[in-house]
Amino acid sequence: MTLGPLMIDIEGLELTAEDRELLEHPAIGGVILFTRNYESPRQLAALVDEIHGLRDPYLLVAVDQEGGRVQRFREGFTHLPPLSCLGRIYDRDAARAKHLAKVTGWLMASELRAVGIDISFAPVLDLDFGISTIIGNRALHKRPEIVADLAYAYQTGMHDAGMAATGKHFPGHGFVAADSHLALPSDDRPFEDIEQWDMVPFRRMIHYGLAAIMMAHVVYPRVDSQPAGFSKVWINDVLRGRLNFQGLIFSDDLSMEGAACAGNHSARAHASLEAGCDMVLVCNQREQAQQVAQALVDYRDPVAHTRMARMHGRSRLSLDDLHSDPRWEQAVAAVKGYEQSPELDLDL
């Protein structure tokens, strides 16, 4: 059985009979976990192992574990500072900031890999223009070249831990005030401005081997009338064509209000896939997820399946082995230190 194009969520701390039945549907390719799915690292490891045991090749398991406001697993995991902390350090000491970005990426990914999780949707590549509250301190910096430098270091740390990186939200979510969870934001800038600012981190990260990209639920009317995640212009012409990106393309959550312009959930999924996305997310809407799965029952894309398979995690340590590793102890100390005292010079 191949991996299908749909990633969905589950309700609780363990799989129900309904979960198992749905996850065995051929249209499903992955599961995204939330805080409600987490009680302890060992419970989480058992849940992920059960999900992985359902299929061959096994379903991708993902989470948003950026740090700051967006960290789904907290107690039992290292508290991760907002990514903007790294940008503030960069302004004083670029070399130290890049080192800490690598340490943070490794720590985040290592702790997730120890419980079997394949993907953290990170790092954020949006720019902090001081406009978007939903992005805000999730962004590394306002300058694109600094975002690219830090994101590359962060990705290197993730790779060292056995996890591929996912940059988001293409082509850039930082210049709009509206929250795409609640509305469809519109960015009225011309393509040239977006290309010279927002797209720079994406372009450089693609050059550095970025494995996956998540699209933005933002419309850029001077480029295309469709939001980026439903736009052949943005996905095929720009991302695949101009930027020559060959990795996996995720939609953002199709249950968000920013996706409602494309119709019901099944229509949204078809529109996103037809525009060029490889995998679509439907979160927190079980009935709609079931409908989308049925609508995609005959959908096949061998190239997308190959891209998905490359997102499977590698080199998993046990929790006990990770916690006894001196590198983990040093990384935890570094991450705690730079959020509490950004000027502290930690020699790791």
Question: Where residue 343 falls among pLDDT bands split at 50, 70, 90?
Answer: low
**Domain ranges for the chain:** 6-340
Contact (Cβ atoms closer than 8 angstroms) between residue 202 and residue 213 = yes
Residue 346 has pLDDT above 50, yes or no: no
Residue 342 has pLDDT above 70, yes or no: no
Contact (Cβ atoms closer than 8 angstroms) between residue 147 and residue 140 = yes
From 49, 79, 91, 181, active-site residue: 181
Residue 339 has pLDDT above 90, yes or no: no
Among 254, 308, 312, residue whose Cα is nearest residue 281: 254
pTM: 0.96
Contact (Cβ atoms closer than 8 angstroms) between residue 55 and residue 83 = no
Cα separation, 161 vs 30, in Å, equals 21
CATH code of domain 6-340? 3.20.20.300
Question: Does residue 181 have an active-site annotation?
Answer: yes
From 252, 265, 270, 312, active-site residue: 252
Residue 176 has pLDDT above 80, yes or no: yes
In the prediction, which pLDDT does 345 show? 45
What are the φ and ψ backbone dihedral angles of 235, each rounded to 5 degrees? -80, -55
Q: Which two tokens stand for residue 274?
A: 């037809």
> Tell me: the pLDDT tens digits for 5-41?
999 999 999 999 999 999 999 999 999 999 999 999 9
Question: Does residue 252 have an active-site annotation?
Answer: yes
Mean pLDDT of the chain: 95
Instruction: Determine the average pLDDT of the residues in 100-107.
Output: 98
In the prediction, which pLDDT does 50 show? 98
In the prediction, which pLDDT does 1 show? 77
In the prediction, which pLDDT does 341 show? 61
Question: Where residue 75 falls among pLDDT bands split at 50, 70, 90?
Answer: very high
